[in-house]
Amino acid sequence: MSQVEHAPHRINLVQGEFRVSDDPRVVLTTLLGSCVGACIRDPVRGVGGMNHFLLPGVEAGLDAKDSERQGVHLMELLVNGLMRQGAQRDRLEAKIFGGARMMRGLSDIGKKNTEFAIKFLKYEGIRFLGGDNGGEQGRRLQFWPVSGRARQSYISSGVESANRASAKRATTAVVEKSSAGEIDLF
């Protein structure tokens, strides 16, 4: 086989999307702030998926029940997608990421998103393996749906990033592109 056949196939998700795959080359990626990414898989069938959601909440003019109904819909899309690919509900396991508090002084929608996702998993009998939630930083998330491997890296807040970038520009002259397609400043 050639190198191209072994190269990972990255699929990026944005808010409101989900994806399911049984292809071991697939890596699902997303950026999360107060949103939550649920990574669910059936380890026996070798199929998994991820979604990216944000409960609309009071700010969107919805009461708590309407907001949760939309969250249930997004989680069910993922679970039903897994079932269509041969997953069995009693074997499902999940990891939850995201749910940061991105803006001080406003309601903590990230915490509400995380609490909702964990409550959904418990209600549906899906084993919750953990993850990483809360804090005040966004996350870059990668999930390999077949193996269940998840990797995250923190993203600095806007003000903090701008200050660091300004300091780095003053002291750096080398810019290299890493193999992951990200720009590293040295």
Which CATH number is 119's domain given? Answer: 3.30.1330.200
Report field, pTM of the whole predicted structure over 0.75: yes
12 and 82 housed in the same domain: yes
Tens of pLDDT, residues 133-150: 999 999 999 999 999 999
Report the alpha-carbon distance of residue 183 to residue 97 in Å, rounded. Answer: 24
169 and 86 housed in the same domain: no
Higher model confidence: residue 58 or residue 24? 24
Q: How confident is the model at residue 55 (pLDDT cuts 50, 70, 90)?
A: confident
- Set 26, 32, 35, 55: catalytic member: 35
- Where residue 149 falls (left for φ over 0; alpha for ψ -120 to 50; beta otherwise) is beta
49 and 63 housed in the same domain: yes
96 and 9 housed in the same domain: yes
Q: Please give the C-alpha separations between residue 137 and each of 17, 93, 130, 160, in angstroms, as whole numbers.
A: 21, 25, 18, 10
User: Domain total for the chain?
Assistant: 2
34 and 122 housed in the same domain: yes
**186 lies in which domain range?**
156-186
Mean per-residue pLDDT, 20-43: 97
Strand, coil or helix: what is 151?
strand
124 and 166 housed in the same domain: no
pLDDT at position 36: 95
80 and 118 housed in the same domain: yes
pLDDT at position 105: 76
Higher model confidence: residue 137 or residue 70? 137
Higher model confidence: residue 159 or residue 24? 24
Q: How confident is the model at residue 179 (pLDDT cuts 50, 70, 90)?
A: very low
- Residues in the chain, how many? 186
Residue 49 pLDDT exceeds 90: yes
Higher model confidence: residue 146 or residue 161? 146
Amino acid symbol at 132: D
29 and 47 housed in the same domain: yes
User: Is 39 an annotated catalytic residue?
Assistant: no
